[in-house]
Amino acid sequence: MTTPREHIEEIRRVKFSIGGEENPLTEDLHHAVKHLSAELYTKDVHFLMELIQNAEDNEYPPDVEPTLEFVVTTRDITGVGAPATLLVFNNEKGFSSKNIESLCSVGRSTKKGKRQGGYIGEKGIGFKSVFLVTSQPYIFSNGYKIRFSEIPPSGVKIGYIVPEWIDGQPNIEDIRKTFPVKQRIGVEGRKDIANWVITLAFPRDERVTTSNRVGAGIYAFLPTEMVTGFPFIIQADFLLTSSRESIIWDNKWNQGILDCVPSAFCAAFLSLVKSVRSAPPSARSYCFRYLPISSPSYPQLRRIRKEIQAKLMTEEVILCEPENAYCTPIQARRIDPAFRNILHKATEEGLEKPSALWSTGTFIIYSCMDNSPSLDFLGVAYVTDDWYSSCIQSIPGWLADFSEDLYVQLLCFVADHWNRGVPNSLKQFPLFKFDNCPYGVSWASLSDIFF
């Protein structure tokens, strides 16, 4: 039995000749569908009527009350750069293979000739009206995960009706950035080139460790002898010395390309962060291995590292507790590993987490993100002494429920962390317990203790 993905691949291969010999009518068909989608209705809002009509015509399981729900959110859920997302939910049986094939056609409605059965639509063009308000509608139904694009994707000369499978990972078209060549940068042999194409390659698995240790290189379609010290490869149409061992540093063409590398890196890095947001927290720190933490081998590349650092410090790339939310490095805070271990053991003992973890306006990073070199690079600061004090005091009776080992561990942390003096906010807190015979265990603050 054909799977939904295999069905989509078959449509692309057989109907639209993708990967095969090009159909000379493809471009004409694209323009015809484009004009149809744009001129079909005089008002953009008409697409809502089409979606309601589709819901009327859909098939529903027995004993199910049909519902149609429209939800507008300011989140860019599909990651296409839209200011908002319209979600349409319908509890129908779901798309059949015939329905999918109808969407990939013009005028081939599955409802044609079924008016006596209560069907309204019959022209097979109604869904195309969604292109009045979006350039990329997405469909998730019965195992199908597809989108249609107004602009023909790379390697395809027709939009609107060619389905693209969505596998959850961004493809090159999703993250590609175009860098126009500035007129003043034109050089002999490159005057006809309008855009630079910059490719960054990120190593995987054990190669990451190797790249971090020795650095990756610069490519101009073939490798040069240059090792940058960055954990990623930079590939572009650089002008090289006659030996092809190095790029020409004082060339304005090469400088123009290098000026675009920080933007290219940040776009790729943010795409990586976004692609792992549904993964467990422990898996989300992997992409931080690609940060250019070490100083580059060439002084001319230092500004690239500095610009990447400045750009990422304003982006929400740090995973924080307790809601799996992301914040900027400037907002995030680290805590001492010894204190994090105390919190972890307290949780294992069934104790409540201190409310100061999230109620003080401070975003505490997840333990899996606690990679010191990466956080140093991004400028993530540690919490203040007052934060530790608030955390210890935030739950009445919290320390009384500690096991003896955990309580001693906390006292050791206080002694080690504040060997130059305990903050005033903690001096009045009953931190020390003692045997107050015959009344049992009592608690005293530092101010209560006399030597």
In tens, the pLDDT along 104-145 reads 887 655 444 443 443 333 334 667 778 878 888 999 998 899
* Mean of pLDDT values over 371-399: 84
Residue that is written with structure tokens 């740090």 in the block: 318
pLDDT of residue 298: 94
Q: Which tokens go with 331?
A: 């907002």
Q: Which tokens go with 54?
A: 């589709």
Q: Residue 440: count other Cβ atoms within 10 Å of its Cβ.
A: 7
Helix (H) or strand (E) holding 170: none
Residue 387 one-letter amino acid: W
Give 5-26 pLDDT, tens digit per residue: 999 999 988 888 787 676 666 6
Exposure letters 329-349 (e unless 16+ CB within 10 A, then b): beebbbbeeebeebbebbeee
- Cis amide bond preceding 322, omega within 30: yes
Q: How far apart are CA 408 and CA 207, in angstroms?
A: 43
Q: How far apart are CA 310 and CA 349, in angstroms?
A: 41
Q: Residue 397 phi/psi, 5° resolution?
A: 75, 10
Residue 302: which pLDDT band, with cuts at 50, 70 and 90?
very high
Q: How far apart are CA 371 and CA 387, in angstroms?
A: 21
Q: How far apart are CA 265 and CA 263, in angstroms?
A: 5
Residue that is written with structure tokens 């975003």 in the block: 363
Residue 425, pLDDT > 90, answer no
Give 260-290 pLDDT, tens digit per residue: 999 999 999 988 887 766 667 666 788 888 9
pLDDT of residue 113: 42
Q: Residue 346: helix, strand or coil by DSSP? A: helix
146-to-105, 136, 167 alpha-carbon distances in Å: 15, 10, 9
The per-residue DSSP string of 402-441 comes to: S-HHHHHHHHHHHHHHTTT---HHHHTS--EEEE-TTS-E
**HSE of 249, CA atoms in CB hemisphere, 13 A:** 5
pLDDT of residue 263: 94
Q: Which of 57-66, 122-131, 401-410 has the lowest mean pLDDT?
A: 122-131
Q: Which tokens go with 423?
A: 């903050």
